[in-house]
């Protein structure tokens, strides 16, 4: 299992002192971010700009969560990190991980958690924003545990876009984006995997009092009317 400093391994392994100095600096910055949440939970006041506010956005393929993320970004200024987009970008890079990810997606299976968390962590570390929408992750309990162990924090908010299966199938087939996973057979596989593995994650965060269930049927604006109050309630805290 990776540690939170896994993404800095290439710096730490180098004998070049300047690389070590850079790594130490990045580690200090990341520690200040990840410990902020824990300090806040204990009643310690920390600067808002150093405290990451993390929202997980869950829902099956075609549930409309990506569209709603765009509106959340426009309205509340979050940094949108789509797990699916990060994985597809890695595929396009022709890396060894990219080839493995492509084959996994074609089979309708879940990409290994450490691979996805590594991509998310890298984007978070490079971002100047402290408000993150993590879209499409975690999809399994193993995903959830890996994220919290590697990144070192829990999400503040978890949105779940609840949408009937047939509606999701129709939406995915109609979007016609030319993606390798946008065909009927693969969609059905993905939905079965999602239903089987995502429910424990949803139940876990529901018990933690962090889950907000959104009825994902209706127009984009009608659905956003349900989303808007969630973030409005946190606006003064988040900044």
175 is in an annotated binding site: yes
169 is in an annotated binding site: no
Write the burial class of residue 104 (CB in 10 Å: 0-12 exposed, 13-18 middle, 19+ buried): middle
206 is in an annotated binding site: no
65 is in an annotated binding site: yes
Give the dihedral of Cα atoms 62, 112, 134, 49; nearest 10 deg: 180
> How far apart, in whole angstroms, are the C-alpha atoms of residue 154 and residue 148?
6
111 is in an annotated binding site: yes
143 is in an annotated binding site: yes
179 is in an annotated binding site: yes
Q: If we measure between CA atoms, which residue out of 161, 162, 158 comes closest to residue 230? A: 158
137 is in an annotated binding site: yes
> How far apart, in whole angstroms, are the C-alpha atoms of residue 91 and residue 111?
12
52 is in an annotated binding site: no
136 is in an annotated binding site: yes
3 is in an annotated binding site: no
For the annotated binding site, the residues are 62-67, 88, 109-111, 136-139, 143, 175, 179, 190, 218
For the annotated binding site for CMP, the residues are 143
For the annotated binding site for a ribonucleoside 5'-phosphate, the residues are 88, 109-111, 136-139, 179, 190
For the annotated binding site for ATP, the residues are 62-67, 175, 218
């Amino acid at each position: 299992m990776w540690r939170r400093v896994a993404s800095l391994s290439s710096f730490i392994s180098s004998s070049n002192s300047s690389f070590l100095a850079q790594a130490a600096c990045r580690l200090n910055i990341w520690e200040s971010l990840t410990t902020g949440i824990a300090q806040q939970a204990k009643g310690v006041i920390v600067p808002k700009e150093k405290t990451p506010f993390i929202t997980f956005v869950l829902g099956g393929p075609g549930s409309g969560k990506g569209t709603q993320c765009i509106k959340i970004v426009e309205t509340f200024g979050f940094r949108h990190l789509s797990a699916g987009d990060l994985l597809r970008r890695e595929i396009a890079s022709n890396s060894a991980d990219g080839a493995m990810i492509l084959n996994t997606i074609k089979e309708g299976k879940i990409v290994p958690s450490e691979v996805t968390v590594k991509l998310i962590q890298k984007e978070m570390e490079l971002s100047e924003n402290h408000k993150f929408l993590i879209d499409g992750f975690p999809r399994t309990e193993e995903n959830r545990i890996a994220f919290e162990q590697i990144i070192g924090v829990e999400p503040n908010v978890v949105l779940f876009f609840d949408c009937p299966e047939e509606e999701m199938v129709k939406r995915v087939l109609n979007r016609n984006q030319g993606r390798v996973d946008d065909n009927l057979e693969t969609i059905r596989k993905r939905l079965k995997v999602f239903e089987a593995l995502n429910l424990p994650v949803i139940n876990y965060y529901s018990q933690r009092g962090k889950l907000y269930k959104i009825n994902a049927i209706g127009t984009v604006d009608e659905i956003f009317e349900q989303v808007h109050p969630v973030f409005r309630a946190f606006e003064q805290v988040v900044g």
